Amino acid sequence: MTEKVITCITCPIGCNITVRGDGKEISCMEGYQCKRGEEYARNEFVHPVRILTTTVRVEGADCPLVPVRSDKPIPRELLMQCMEKIKTVVVEAPVFRRDVIIPNVLGSDANIIATGSVKK
Amino acid sequence: MFEMNCDVAVIGGGPAGLAAAAAAKKQGAGKVLIIERDNALGGILQQCIHPGFGLTYFNEELTGPEYAGRFTEQAERLGVETLLNSMVLEILPDATVICSNAEYGITYVKAKSIVLSMGCRERTRGNIQIPGTRPAGVYTAGAAQRLINRQNEMVGRQVVILGSGDIGMIMARRMTLEGAKVVAVVEIMDYLAGLTRNRVQCLDDFGIPLMLSHTVTRIVGNQRVEGVYVAKVDENRKPIPETEQLYVCDTLLLSVGLIPENELSRDIKVEMCGITNGPVVNQNMQTSLPFLFACGNVVHVNDLVDNVSKESEIAGKEAARYAMGTMPESKGTVTCVLGNNVRYICPQKIDIDGDDSEISLYFRVNVPDENVRISLQSNGMELAKKKAVKVNPGEIEYMKVRASELTQGNLVINVSKEA
Amino acid sequence: MIKTDVLVIGAGAVGCAIARELTKYQLKVTVVDKNEDVGGEASKSNSAIIHTGYDAPPGTLESELVVAANPMFELLAKQLEIPYAKVGAILPAFTDEQFEQLPALKEKAFKNRVYDVEYLTGEQLLKMEPNLSPYVKAGLYIPREHIIDPFLLVVAYAENALQNGAEFLLNTKVTGIKMKGGRVTGAQTTAGDIEAAYIVNAAGLYCDEIAEMVGKNDYTVNPRKGQFYILDKNTGCKVNHIVLPIPTKVTKGKLMCPTIHGNMLVGPTAEDLQDKQDYSTTAEGLASVEADVRRLIPGVNLRDTITQYSGLRANRNPEGLHVDTYDDVKNYVNLSGVRSTGLTASISLGKYVAQTLIGIGMPVSFNPAFNPIRRGIPRFNEMSREEQDEMIRKNPLYGRVVCRCETITEGEIVEAIHRPIPACSVDAVKRRLRAGMGRCQGGFCGPKVIEILARELGIPTGQITKNQPGSYMISGKVRGGKEKANV
């Protein structure tokens, strides 16, 4: 049984929502003031996900890096592992915005895509 | 010497300049030229690789480079021209912009109107007078961000961050993702300076402690930072000496405020606002020099780039109208007066020119408050009001008013507790 | 093994001035310094004032040297192409007690043969300095107290010396002095032994440690810290002259003056310490600067500060500027007690030490090829638009402005890195060009300077230092970390 206090970020009020549960089963929730908050807290407790943004090494260009992001949120617990994978990748210029750098990273269903373009 | 002509010259190709240039083109200006010192457009957004941009403008959550990309592509489509790798040195009273370029030498750009969109710089350790040694390893958050995200250089491995503004928190996450240990984020106020969402996703996610009501009192280390002393502050935000503790680190990042970059504006002696440190502008983003317009962080430090884009579109549109000679004449001025708990209002003035558009007045409060009533009054009459659950200096508020409702004189915005 | 005629220990203002002077003779001159750049210690953290000597202890060597030096600077500044301005100083009296001290100060100036010190009324002073405290009763005007760029003074001395044949060995610390038959024969250093016919100790803060190596440490040197504020060029409350407080026995006091580049300088404190490496600023020290200077200039706005720094004066115990030679340690000249007026006295000390060496038997043969003229790096921000354009055509790197605050170009930075005394660190670039001295304090140019240094020196960015070894700027690459992360 875990208890977490989750700060809701869907609106500026920032309710502190206390969630008690066991893995994917929530036994009780209190502190939310709206449906969006309840949904946010539920997802945060059961399966927190984050957009990952970082950079990837580029070769063959003046610029050494291209900024990248996950095109979908990734499970929070996979973030550092994803980073390890991303650190090993080197791409050749040119790179175009929206190019897929790493498809389906760590089987998460999210692709790591370029958010900027790098000329040769 | 190289000479060029244009209708609208835009100084700075970041989000403000890009939006202004596009708007100028859409308004019908002939040649719109962005003069940019970097080797690419996008300004600071190039290094803001994190998401959080475009929520209101595009209804999407984009990263900085993606947001910049939309505007860069738009500018290209519209035929906005650019002069990259060019640093503006001076603006002359006849609307000539003098810049320096390796290829063309000293370049004179003769414009009909000019938009200032140079952005801002960061407050430094020197500005806030942190005592101690002067070792390597003290960086402002933005400089560190540039090194890490654009130049592939890691600034340090064990980090203390002073300032809980968004830049500081975002760098906390960035450094952690790249393998550094962020020991703490230290904030002198008793409230978070930036967005709560960033506290959650940049600090809580990584277990980085947030120390409110604390500050860095001393830096130690002769050659490289070896640590910083952190102390609790009292109600006057003065350090309490007995609470001083040493935090071992090799890097101190400073996220202690942004200052509009107005060297050029001051040199040409436009009227400046002492509180924003930017030029005084009217609702057309026009400065005290009729041909000179300004937008973005150079006018006042914004928190959402989406608002910068909207504000800059006004500047670009009006700069185009000025260049084309289609700007209506002013029939009077309304001065915006700071009411209760209002730190500044932007624009500082409103020109009554017959236009009936809706004007957005952006403002910041002095101190945080809850359950407040915001009231806009013109010459004693209340024109608009709204309620807010929370207001704080870190988030820009706005009130809208129709130009036709205004008469010459004063306009006041008051923020007070709901009765 | 390096063999030289004269080994000068210390590449501060005095050491470099001595080296320059000695290249007028046909001698091999070698200057060593433990630091990675010329500039010494006190020579690079002071108030940048060229003194008249009006308040020196009369009848002393210090007085002689400073009084003789002052008029030499106008020509020197032209020869070495360094910024220099004859702003003059005022010494206002605000209380009856201070007013009563004025005659004694004027008398002292006379004893020091500084005759052009004038009385001025409070009204006259306020006209000269509108921001002076209105309580001023009267004061002194010392017209020949001037301001200079202290960093360029030392770099220029060194470059001119090198141009005329001297050699500079930096990152070289003297660890011992060798003697034979009662005279010095050379030095042991961290970079190997140097054989020298004559040795000059111009080690400033560390001169006592050098003197100990020949058994002549009948004095000690402790650091007397001075903390300073630098204010933004745009600060509202400025002064046109050096505004001096009535001096005490311990210190010239906390002043406010313009810097040669248009900032305001406020300070310094005078705190006796033991740790020669303690360059920290302190909240208490800085607060005392504010308190004292407000009595002179009540409107001084220290919130406009862009940076603060500490300098360490080399305080001799017992006091007094000495240039000593010894019968039992021949061919050795010991300088000690160079404090507070060292920057000014450098020019005359250079000549005095050369003369002293001749006096103890150094063979002299005039060097007809000596060229006193040193050309500086062409400064973009001092050129007209036509000159700037011309410069960019000659060297396109001058078209890339790197330091936005002070308008400094990549061309100048690259030049500085490849000069005969090269700038090899971020601070070395800063001292020569001012890149990083502006209001953003390197926030904008810093990342670029690091990149340029790495490129021009052909070393990884991880090895670029702020100044001394260990002051690395970058801990490693973010990606592709094949380069060795540095210590």
Of B61, B69, B204, the CB nearest to A116: B69
Q: Which residues in chain C have Cβ-Cβ distances shorter than 8 Å to B133?
A: 279-280
Residue B1 to residue C386, Cβ atoms within 8 A: yes
In a domain, A39, yes or no: yes
Q: For residues C52 and C345, what is the distance between their CA atoms, to the nearest angstrom?
A: 10
Residue C392 confidence (pLDDT): 98
Q: What is the pLDDT of residue B389?
A: 87
| Interchain CB contacts (distance < 8 Å): A and B | 70
Average pLDDT over residues A14-20: 89
B106 touches chain C (CB under 8 A): yes
Mean pLDDT of A74-86: 94
Q: Are residues A66 and A104 in the same domain?
A: yes
Residue A60 and residue A9 share a domain:
no
Residue C485 has pLDDT above 60, yes or no: no
Q: What is the mean pLDDT of residues C3-31?
A: 98
- C40 Rama sector, left if φ>0, alpha if ψ -120 to 50, beta otherwise: left
In this structure, the answer to whether residues A110 and A79 fall within a common structural domain is yes
Long-range CB contacts for residues B172-175, cutoff 8 Å, separation at least 24: B172/B202, B172/B203, B172/B206, B172/B208, B173/B50, B173/B201, B173/B202, B173/B203, B173/B205, B173/B206, B174/B50, B174/B145, B174/B148, B174/B149, B175/B144, B175/B148, B175/B253
Please name the member of C389, C404, C478 whose beta carbon is closest to the beta carbon of B153.
C478
Q: Are residue B209 and residue B308 in the same domain, yes or no?
A: no
pLDDT digits (tens, 9 = 90+) for A88-118: 999 999 999 999 999 999 998 999 999 999 9
C396 Cβ under 8 Å from any chain B Cβ: yes
Evaluate if residue C487 carries a pLDDT over 70: no
pLDDT tens-place string over residues C45-63? 999 999 999 999 999 999 9
Instruction: Check pLDDT > 70 for residue C221.
Output: yes
Specify the CATH number for the domain of residue B11. Answer: 3.50.50.60
Give the single-character DSSP code of B398.
E
Query: Does residue A33 share a domain with residue A57?
Result: no
B151–A64 CB contact, under 8 Å: yes
Chain C nearest-CA distance from A47, in A, is: 30
B193 min Cα distance to partner chain A (Å): 13
The pLDDT, as a whole number, for residue B311 is: 95
User: Position B252: which residue type?
Assistant: L
How does strand B251-254 pair with strand B158-162?
parallel
Q: Determine the structural domain holding residue A9 and report its residue range.
A: 2-47
Same domain assignment for residues B85 and B110:
yes
Residues of B in contact with A53 (CB under 8 A): 49-51, 63
Those residues with Cβ within 8 angstroms of residue B71's Cβ, 6 or more apart along the chain or in another chain: B15, B18, B19, B22, B309
Query: Does B379 or C108 have the greater pLDDT score?
Result: C108
A9, A31: one domain: yes
Examine the fold and report which residue of B256, B278, B310 is the final residue of a domain before the chain moves on.
B256
Query: Is B386 near chain A, with CB under 8 Å?
Result: no
Pairwise CB contact (< 8 Å): C470 & B266: no
Domain co-membership, A66 together with A106:
yes
Interface contact B177, partner C, CB < 8 A: no
Interface mutation target, options A69, A79, A89, A91, chain B, most CBs of B under 10 Å: A69
Is the pLDDT score of C241 beyond 60?
yes
The answer on B414 and B335 residing in a single domain is yes
Task: Answer whether residue A9 is part of any domain.
Answer: yes
> Which is nearest to C401 in space by CA: B98, B43, B87, B146?
B87
pLDDT at C21 over 90: yes
For chain A, list residues whose CB is within 8 angstroms of any CB belonging to chain B. 7, 9, 12-14, 50-55, 57, 62-65, 67-69, 76, 79-80, 83, 97, 115-117
CA separation (Å) from C36 to C12, C14, C319, C437, C471?
Answer: 12, 17, 30, 20, 11
Q: Please state, in angstroms and rounded to a whole number, the distance separating the CA atoms of residues B139 and B223.
A: 14
Residues A115, B65: C-beta atoms closer than 8 Å: yes
| Start-to-end Cα distance in chain B | 65
Is residue A120 one of the residues assigned to a domain?
no
Distance from CA of B133 to the nearest CA of A (A): 33
Check pLDDT > 90 for residue A8.
Answer: no
Please give the structure tokens belonging to residue C76: 């020197």
Do B109 and B142 belong to one domain? no
- Residue B233 β-bridge partners: B239
Single-letter amino acid, residue C147? I
The reply to whether C146 belongs to the active site is: no
Flag if C475 and B155 touch (Cβ within 8 Å).
yes
Of B256, B277, B302, which one is at a domain's C-terminal end?
Answer: B256
Positive/negative CA dihedral, C433, C435, C441, C447: negative
**Do residues A42 and A81 both lie within one domain?**
no
Residue C479 touches partner A, C-beta closer than 8 Å: yes
Residue of chain B minimizing CA distance to A52: B50
Least-confidence region, from C93-102, C134-143, C248-257: C248-257
Q: Which one of C277, C385, C399 has the shortest CB-CB distance to B222? A: C277
- Omega within 30 of 0 (cis) for the link into A67: no
**What's the pLDDT band for C484 if we cut at 50, 70, 90?**
very low
Whether A12 and B395 lie within 8 Å, measured CB to CB? yes
Is residue B68 domain-shared with residue B100, that is, in the same domain? yes
Model confidence over C244-269: pLDDT tens digits? 998 776 677 899 999 999 999 999 99
* A61 and A86 belong to one structural domain: yes
Q: Is the peptide bond before A94 cis (omega within 30 degrees of 0)?
A: yes
Cα B65 from Cα A95, distance rounded (Å):
13
User: For domain C81-145+222-312, which architecture applies?
Assistant: 2-Layer Sandwich (3.30)
Does the beta carbon of B390 lie under 8 angstroms from any beta carbon of chain A? yes
Q: Between chains, do B153 and C280 touch, taking CB under 8 Å as contact? A: no
pLDDT at B196: 86
Note whether B131 contacts C280, CB cutoff 8 Å: yes
The domain that holds B343 is classified in CATH as: 2.60.40
Mean pLDDT of chain C: 96
Of B235, B256, B277, the position where a domain reaches its end is: B256
Average pLDDT over residues C219-234: 97
Beta-carbon contacts of residue C280 (< 8 Å; ≥ 6 apart): B131, B132, B133, B218, B220, C310
Query: C486 falls in which pLDDT band (50, 70, 90)?
Result: very low
pLDDT band at A49 (very low <50, low <70, confident <90, very high): very high
Yes or no: say if C204 and C46 are a contact pair by the CB < 8 Å rule: no
Instruction: Read off φ and ψ for residue B4, nearest 5 degrees.
Output: -135, 155
**pLDDT average, residue stretch A38-53:** 92
Find chains touching chain C: ≥3 CB pairs under 8 Å: A, B
Chains that touch B (3 or more CB pairs under 8 A): A, C
Chain C partners within 8 Å of A65 (Cβ): 478-479
Residues 6+ apart with CB under 8 A from C431: C37, C39, C44, C151, C152, C155, C423
Between C309, C401, C479, which is nearest B87 by CB?
C401
Q: Which fold has domain C2-45+150-219+318-359?
A: FAD/NAD(P)-binding domain (3.50.50)
Provide the domain count of chain B. Answer: 3
Is residue A100 one of the residues assigned to a domain? Answer: yes
Kindly state whether C395 is in contact with chain B, defined as any CB-CB distance less than 8 angstroms.
no
Domain C380-463 has CATH 1.10.10: yes
Q: Is B120 helix (H, G, I), strand (E, B) or coil?
A: strand
Quote the CA–CA distance of B112 and B96 in Å, as a whole number: 8
Of the candidates B39, B199, B389, the beta carbon closest to that of A13 is on B389
Please indicate if any CB of chain A lies within 8 Å of the CB of C181: no
Cβ of B125 under 8 Å from any chain A Cβ?
A: no
* Domain shared by A69 and A27, yes or no: no
Residues B347 and B273 in one domain: no
Q: Touching check for C482 and chain A: CB below 8 Å?
A: no
Structural element, H or E, at residue C447 = helix C445-457
The boundaries of the domain holding residue B2 are 1-122+258-327
Of these residues, C51, C146, C261, C418, which one is catalytic?
Answer: C51
Residue A103 lies in a domain: yes
What value of ipTM does the predicted structure carry?
Answer: 0.95
Query: Residues C144-179, buried b or exposed e (16+ Cβ, 10 A)?
Result: bbbbbbbbbbbbbbbbbbbbbbbebbbbbbbeebbb
Mark which residues 410-439 of C lie under 8 Å from B by CB: 426, 439
Q: How many domains does chain A have?
A: 2
How confident is the prediction along chain B (419 residues), in pLDDT tens digits per residue? Answer: 899 999 999 999 999 999 999 999 999 999 999 999 999 999 999 999 999 999 999 999 999 999 999 999 999 999 999 999 999 999 999 999 999 999 999 999 999 999 999 999 999 999 999 999 999 999 999 999 999 999 999 999 999 999 999 999 999 999 999 999 999 999 999 999 888 889 999 999 999 999 999 999 999 999 999 999 999 999 999 999 999 999 999 999 999 999 999 999 999 999 999 999 999 999 999 999 999 999 999 999 998 899 999 999 999 999 999 999 999 888 889 999 999 999 999 999 999 987 788 999 999 999 989 999 999 999 888 999 999 988 988 888 999 999 888 888 899 999 998 76
- First-to-last alpha carbon distance for chain C, in angstroms, is 30
Q: Could you tell me the residue ranges of all domains in chain C? A: 2-45+150-219+318-359, 81-145+222-312, 380-463
A25 and A71, same domain (yes or no): no
